[in-house]
Amino acid sequence: MIATVSGEQFVYRPIGIIRTENTIPDKTPIQPVYAADREGRAEIFSEVVEGLRDIEKFSHLYLIYHFHRAGEPRLIVQPFLEDVEHGIFATRAPVRPNAIGFSVVELIRREGATLYFRGADILDGTPLLDIKPYIARFDHIALSRNGWQDGVDEQTAKRKGGRKE
């Protein structure tokens, strides 16, 4: 872990575990948009399952998780979609100072403590830290400048992002 001047630290514990068919990092899609056909499920621990009430009425959820198989943090990385180096905070790469990831997935259905979803770009066994509903009035940014990502054409992104080549 990269040390920081602040001595503060925060301890989080999993609220559940994510199950997918993705067991090999190099074969795992890099984003839900490239994993539309991959289903997965989040198994929520019984101690917090009450917190799911009404979640089935949302079509999309942010799953926030710990990148449990990320390597050592790096500050400069070459992202998967481009052959140019960028700062880690200008990318979604997992080797971050704090290995927090999120995916916006499509909720298919809830069965008790289990959420079935589409858009599984997450490795099997990933510890889940939080779930937040996707809410269009908060999260839908109509116009954005997307840095180096604007230079990656859609076809290349789709081909590489799904890791099917």
Residues in 33-92 that interact with its own copies by CB under 8 A:
33, 45-48, 50-55, 57-60, 64, 66, 75-76, 85-92
- Contact call for residue 135 and its own copies (CB under 8 A): yes
In whole angstroms, the minimum distance from the beta carbon of 165 to its own copies comes to 18
State yes or no: residue 3 binds its own copies (CB under 8 A). yes
Q: Which two tokens stand for residue 17?
A: 């575990």
- Yes or no: say if 55 and 67 are a contact pair by the CB < 8 Å rule: no
Comparing CB distances to its own copies, the nearer of 39 and 152 is 152
Of positions 72, 83, 111, 145, contacts its own copies by CB under 8 A: 145
Q: Kindly tell me which residue out of 39, 70, 80, 104 binds its own copies, with binding defined by CB under 8 A.
A: 104
Find out whether 22 and 123 touch, Cβ atoms under 8 Å.
yes
Which is closer to its own copies, CB of 22 or CB of 44? 44
Residues touching its own copies, count (CB under 8 A)? 74
Q: With respect to its own copies, which residue has the nearer C-beta, 22 or 32? A: 32
Residue 146's alpha-carbon distances to 30, 70, 111, 151, 159, in angstroms, are 17, 24, 37, 9, 19
- Cα dihedral value 98, 103, 107, 109, nearest 10: -50
Alpha carbon distance 145, 138 (integer Å): 18
From candidates 26, 72, 83, 144, binder to its own copies by CB under 8 A = 144
State the Cα–Cα distance between residues 123 and 152, nearest whole angstrom.
25
Cβ closest to its own copies, residue 57 vs residue 165 = 57
* Residue 155 found at the interface with its own copies (CB under 8 A): no
Residue 50 has phi, psi (to 5 degrees) of -60, -30
